[in-house]
Amino acid sequence: MTHPFPATPEFSGSLYRPSRFEGSVFDLEVEGQVPESLNGTFFQVAPDPQFPPMRGNDIFFNGDGAVHAFRFGKGRVDFQRRYVMTDRLKAQRAERESLFGLYRNAFTNDVRADGVHMGTANTNVVQHNGLLLALKEDSPPYAMDPVTLETHGLYDFDGQMTSPTFTAHPKFDPETGALLCFGYEAKGEATPDIVYYEIDRHGRKQREVWIRGPYAAMIHDFAVTENYVIFPLMPLTSDLERMKNGGNHFEWQPGLEQTFGVLPRDGDGRDVRWFTAPNGFQGHTLNAFDDGKGRIIVDMPVTDGNIFYFFPQSDGLVPPPETLSSRMMRWTFDMNRPGNGLTMVPLTDFACEFPKSDDRYSGREYRHGFVIGMDMTRPFDFERLGAPPFQFFNLLSHIDVATQKAKSWFADAQTCFQEPVFVPKSADAPEGEGWVIALANRLVERETDLVILDAQHIDEGPVATVHLPMRLRMSLHGSWVPAAA
């Protein structure tokens, strides 16, 4: 590598300077006591660019996926990190430089990238039917070996996948273990088509429904209840002409409403109903359920403007992040009313994202949510750190959605958290009784720890802090896989 990464916020500082390494650490250093009941693996994935961007700068979402495995058992934790060996990464390693231009815009690639699949596998990792799937929403999954983190390659469910895209946020049916998933831009770049699949725990496709959306927009996360599937169309639209002209894949539309497609799980594409709400930025799904009588609840953070500063509106404007406000929101869809029976009420009085619930209650009536939150009235080491980095969260929080009360742990003026996972204390423990595990970045010290907290007493701080002997770059999503799986 003959030139350094740019000195832009996307590639520098303790959270965003690429980590780039692969390797393993046997038996991490533990302060406190790792609960013996934690028996399984915490997988997660970070976008971590292998090479400096060919255009001088790039967005966080365009980095090469690097998978982390924290393997827990008998109070010990082993660590492993490997890149997903995507076609794209292999092509770039062969040339020893970046060959791909703008995010999701093949028209801006180097000619040496022609015919090379663009998937970065950098957004989420889940295990299904014995395979670890590294996911990016513009691509089929990359299948990996969950034990060695060896990459098998692009995976189309043995030919059953009929779309070029597959969400990074599939759900699991807690009763059957089926993978509930979708693709958007499912008939090619900037198409408004959506496909929904249910794939059983043995990898057999059981359902496939095609929907034509009102326009092509980002559908980053979604929700599945016992009886419905809900697709949030964000006001970030795609346009093939803009891409051909070298522009961004997505553009923020300040005048466009938030749109939701609601599909009965046993219906076909004609049964979808479209709901709208005023402009806003739909975040990740915490959980969702329906009452069996046509009332659907979806909980997700919603922000009152565009937090993706790298996908500006057509005049180039992006709101300064400190002017945006977000809350965990509860959407209620009323399928019994004709028209736009949709309401939204806040569940928290603080900004939060990266929500997780107890997976055993996915799509079912539930009570406990876990998020990382931001409270800028808490101390922050502006002197040594300057402004907080993008996706800075200084709280790890438990939300009781029934009482709308939250408990939070704030570590100190230099620590920020990455997305947590929740692990039940035992397979039959009551909902929300278990452990919350999250990476904590020490921004001044440029170190990273894994913290483990009692989910019901999150405000008491960690029961164990697991030290990594190196810094890990900001990651995105992950999941817990019990050893039995």
Residues that bind ligand V55 (CB under 6 A): 47, 61, 122-123, 137, 220, 476
Shortest spacing between CB 168 and ligand V55, in angstroms: 7
Closer to ligand V55 by Cβ: residue 5 or 308:
308
Rank residues 77 and 474 by Cβ distance to ligand V55 and give the closer one: 474
Shortest gap between Cβ of 476 and ligand V55 (angstroms)?
5
Distance in Å, CB of 10 to ligand V55, minimum: 13
Could you tell me the smallest distance in angstroms from the CB atom of residue 286 to ligand V55?
Answer: 15
When CB distances to ligand V55 are compared, the closest residue is: 61
Q: Which run of H or E residues covers position 91?
A: helix 87-95
What tokens does 103 get?
Answer: 């995010």
Work out how close the CB of 243 gets to ligand V55 at its nearest, in angstroms, rounded to a whole number.
15
DSSP 3-state of 111: helix
Question: What is the distance between the alpha carbons of residues 61 and 182, in angstroms, rounded to a whole number?
Answer: 20
Determine the Cα–Cα distance for residues 122 and 172; give it in Å rounded to an integer.
Answer: 20
* CB nearer ligand V55, residue 13 or residue 119: 119
Residue 341's Cβ-count burial label (10 Å; 0-12, 13-18, 19+) is: middle
- Report the Cα 184 to chain-centroid distance in Å: 16
For the bound state, the minimum distance from the C-beta of residue 236 to ligand V55, rounded and expressed in Å, comes to: 9
Distance between CA 222 and CA 300 in Å, rounded?
Answer: 10
**In the complex, what is the shortest distance from the CB of residue 295 to ligand V55, in angstroms, rounded to a whole number?**
28
Distance between CA 295 and CA 107 in Å, rounded? 44
Query: How many C-beta atoms surround the C-beta of residue 76 within 10 A?
Result: 15
User: Of the two residues 62 and 227, which places its CB atom closer to ligand V55 in the complex?
Assistant: 62
**Within 370-452, where are the H helices?**
382-385
The residue among 65 and 192 lying less far from ligand V55, judged by its C-beta, is 65
Take residue 248 and report the two structure tokens written for it: 């961004």
The tokens describing 119, both together, are 């998937």
The least CB distance from residue 41 to ligand V55, in Å, is: 21
Give backbone dihedrals phi and psi of 264, rounded to 5 degrees, phi first: -65, 135
Q: 450 CB contacts (<8 Å, ≥6 apart)?
A: 28, 42, 70, 77, 437, 438, 439, 440, 465, 466, 468
Residue 62 Cβ vs ligand V55, minimum distance, rounded to whole Å: 8
Collapsed DSSP state (helix, strand, coil) of residue 285: coil
Q: Which is closer to ligand V55, CB of 171 or CB of 360?
A: 171
Minimum distance, C-beta of residue 455 to ligand V55, in the bound complex (Å): 24
- If the CB atoms of residues 137 and 198 are measured against ligand V55, the closer one turns out to be 137
The gap from C-alpha 71 to its chain's centroid, in whole angstroms, comes to 21
Report how far residue 260's alpha carbon sits from residue 302's, in angstroms, rounded to the nearest whole number. 13
Q: Please give the structure tokens belonging to residue 11.
A: 């590639």
The C-alpha atoms of residue 106 and residue 246 are separated, in whole angstroms, by 9
Residue closest to 62 by CA, chosen among 1, 121, 143, 126: 121
Q: Buried b vs exposed e over 423-443: b needs ≥16 C-beta within 10 Å?
A: bbbeeeeebbebbbbbbbbbb
CB of 134 to ligand V55, least distance (A): 11
CA distances from 457 to 41, 161, 168 (A): 23, 43, 30
* CB of 46 or CB of 99, closer to ligand V55: 46
Joined together, the tokens standing for residue 419 give: 């997305």
- Choose between 220 and 356: whose C-beta lies nearer to ligand V55: 220
- Residue closer to ligand V55 (CB basis): 123 or 408: 123
The DSSP bridge pattern shows strands 281-282 and 273-277 to be unpaired
- Contact between 389 and 10 under an 8 Å Cβ cutoff? The reply is no
Between 14 and 475, CB nearer to ligand V55 = 475
> Can you name the residues that pair with 287 across neighbouring β-strands?
299
**Cβ 122 to ligand V55, closest distance in Å?**
5
